[in-house]
Structure 1
Amino acid sequence: MGSRPVDDVLDAASDGVHYSALRLEELNINGSMSGEEQPTTSGVENGHQEPFVIGVAGGASSGKSTVCKMIIDQLRDQRVVVVTQESFYYGLSDEELVHVHDYNFDHPDAFDTELLLSCMENLKHGKAVDIPNYNFKTYKSVASARKVNPSDVIILEGILVFHDSRVRDLMNMKIFVDTDADVRLTRRIRRDTIEKGRDIKTVLDQYSKFVKPAFEDFILPTKKYADIIIPRGGDNDVAIDLIVQHIRTKLGQHDLCKVHPNLYVIQTTYQIRGMHTIIRDAATTTHDFIFYADRLIRLVVEHGLGHLPFKEKQVITPTGSVYTGVEFSKRLCGISVIRR
């Protein structure tokens, strides 16, 4: 189904999803943390819970809008908003309007990516934005912009939403809708002739001149950035169900972090889930329970140690060279919490 490791995508597929987590009281960190691996944070920034941003890309008429609608329908208990890349088309000048049939709407330069980036960044930081309202008959943005408020989930949909690395970096999940070229062309002919009143010859000329080359040059290469690839688009119910379950898992982690802003959730893996399965099995022996419980505890402790304050320290190695490392800051206290 996708290019992402299976355990990253399907870790929400079971009925009971368990998290290994640790809670840290606020620490006054004076030591240098440079060079260390950044901890898995809760996504809370200055008291604001960042939304879960999903990018949905694919060729024109591949079924992106259908996939977005299916995700929204299943996330009905969450606040979800859709931002379409088509809203950010540049308005055409009078000269371009004269030769509108020679204008390539599938090229990256046709979009105001800077404005799109600004809107997405503001939404991600909890600020309401005005999304342009593009008129496809006049090929210009009309005065009445669409006001979009911050939400739990933001879906950014468009043919080239993966093209700019700055926009990609804002996404928590990237989905590429992969649909056969003949199916996409058939849908495009039906849409443009019925909804836009164009004749078939104009549609086919535009497809061969702009749409097909742009797909091969700009859209298809961005498929490599996708975390998940959905064959057949909205017809792939299984893929949509798994994606929604994964999103719900991530939102569940966010809910925990809303209650406890200093909570860090360790990302689950098949190894962790396997050990959870063993210690919850009534048939597990006492020896195996102790062994695997100890392994899980060690993982939590090791993850927790990475959040403690360090400071630089230089030592002399047995070869006489100087090694610059780190050591724990002083006056740390560890407390064992026993749950019955």
Structure 2
Amino acid sequence: MAADTKAAGSRDIIVIGIAGGTGSGKTTITRKIAERFGSEVTVLYHDNYYKARHDLTYDERVRLNYDHPDAFDTDRMIEDLARLKRGETIECPLYDYTIYDRSDQTLIVRPTRVIIVEGILIFHSKALRDLMDIKLFVDADADERILRRIVRDVKERGRSLDSVISQYLQTVKPMHEAFVEPSKRYADVIIPEGGMNQVAVDMVMNRVQYHLEGRDR
């Protein structure tokens, strides 16, 4: 989402990274922040930076590993985030889950005083981490995460139950253990129980409010 406000100066911008495993609740926390602060917040989703795979057939795209760092065009996200921090408007790519490929459409994103970067692997890249002022890792039990993923992918993304379970066992779970879980060590704060942890959510909200009121300066 983007705000139609005048460009914020880089000194006025705070970048919050929200990472965690699939179904951990990071999107819930991101949504709560965005709903509370509205036009003061811009969100960049790492998922929108999945690499374009127009050269592959649908069946070939389905079989790709989407939970490995190489699945993302993180270099472009780093460039876009750096531009936003400089007060520049960007053209963000969009990903279409129904076709397992990048959409032909893009989204105009303007800089705001609070930028949230969300994704399972946003802490994997040091260059991306270095652009963040606050790094949050949303933690949740593995059983809860797989159940949430099933509900999301079946209801919202039109996937079959068998395909979701197969993908989880073949790529999601091993990639989580290899890349997502180890990235937890880079977090400034670890939030257990995801978006249901109201104490932690309130702490994040207060930090954002602190920044917007100009008390950082």
Same topology, TM > 0.5: yes
State how far apart, in whole Å, the 2-side matches of 1:110 and 1:146 are. Answer: 20
State how far apart, in whole Å, the 2-side matches of 1:65 and 1:55 are. Answer: 12
- Asked if 2 retains the 8 angstrom alpha-carbon contact of 1:88 and 1:112, the reply is yes
- Asked if 2 retains the 8 angstrom alpha-carbon contact of 1:96 and 1:103, the reply is no
Tell me how many residue pairs correspond in the alignment.
209
- Asked if 1 retains the 8 angstrom alpha-carbon contact of 2:43 and 2:117, the reply is yes
Shift of 1:108: 0.2
Mark the structure with the bigger radius of gyration: 1
Shift of 1:102: 2.3
- Asked if 2 retains the 8 angstrom alpha-carbon contact of 1:91 and 1:141, the reply is yes
2:85 counterpart letter in structure 1:
K
1:88 counterpart letter in structure 2:
Y
Unaligned runs of 5+ in 2: 1-8
State how far apart, in whole Å, the 1-side matches of 2:108 and 2:117 are. Answer: 15
Change (3 A) 1:148 1:48: same
Unaligned runs of 5+ in 1: 1-46, 258-340
Shift of 1:93: 4.3
* Runs of 4+ in structure 1 over 4 Å off: none
1:177 counterpart letter in structure 2:
V
* Match runs of 1:91-110 below 5 Å: 91-95=52-56, 97-110=58-71
Q: Answer yes or no: is 1:232 the counterpart of 2:198.
A: no
TM-score, scaled relative to structure 1: 0.58
- Asked if 2 retains the 8 angstrom alpha-carbon contact of 1:50 and 1:125, the reply is no
Please name the residue that 1:70 is paired with: 32
Shift of 1:241: 0.6
Identical amino acids, percent of aligned pairs: 41
State how far apart, in whole Å, the 1-side matches of 2:34 and 2:98 are. Answer: 28
Q: Choose between structure 1 and 2: higher helix proportion.
A: 2
Shift of 1:125: 0.5
1:136 counterpart letter in structure 2:
Y
Q: What does the per-residue CA deviation read over 1:206-237, in whole Å, with 9 as the maximum and x for residues that have no partner? A: 10100000000000001011111111111011
State how far apart, in whole Å, the 1-side matches of 2:134 and 2:113 are. Answer: 14
- Asked if 2 retains the 8 angstrom alpha-carbon contact of 1:81 and 1:155, the reply is yes
Is 135-144 or 203-212 further displaced after alignment?
Answer: 135-144
Q: What does the per-residue CA deviation read over 1:165-204, in whole Å, with 9 as the maximum and x for residues that have no partner? A: 0000011100101011101111111122222332222211
* Match runs of 1:105-184 below 5 Å: 105-184=66-145
1:99 partner SS: helix
Please name the residue that 1:197 is paired with: 158
Shift of 1:96: 5.7
State how far apart, in whole Å, the 1-side matches of 2:100 and 2:150 are. Answer: 20
2:23 counterpart letter in structure 1:
S
Q: What does the per-residue CA deviation read over 1:89-130, in whole Å, with 9 as the maximum and x for residues that have no partner? A: 011244463323321000000000111001000000000000
- Asked if 2 retains the 8 angstrom alpha-carbon contact of 1:121 and 1:170, the reply is yes
Change (3 A) 1:201 1:140: closer
User: C-alpha root-mean-square deviation of aligned residues, in Å?
Assistant: 1.8
- Asked if 1 retains the 8 angstrom alpha-carbon contact of 2:16 and 2:133, the reply is yes
State how far apart, in whole Å, the 1-side matches of 2:183 and 2:57 are. Answer: 28
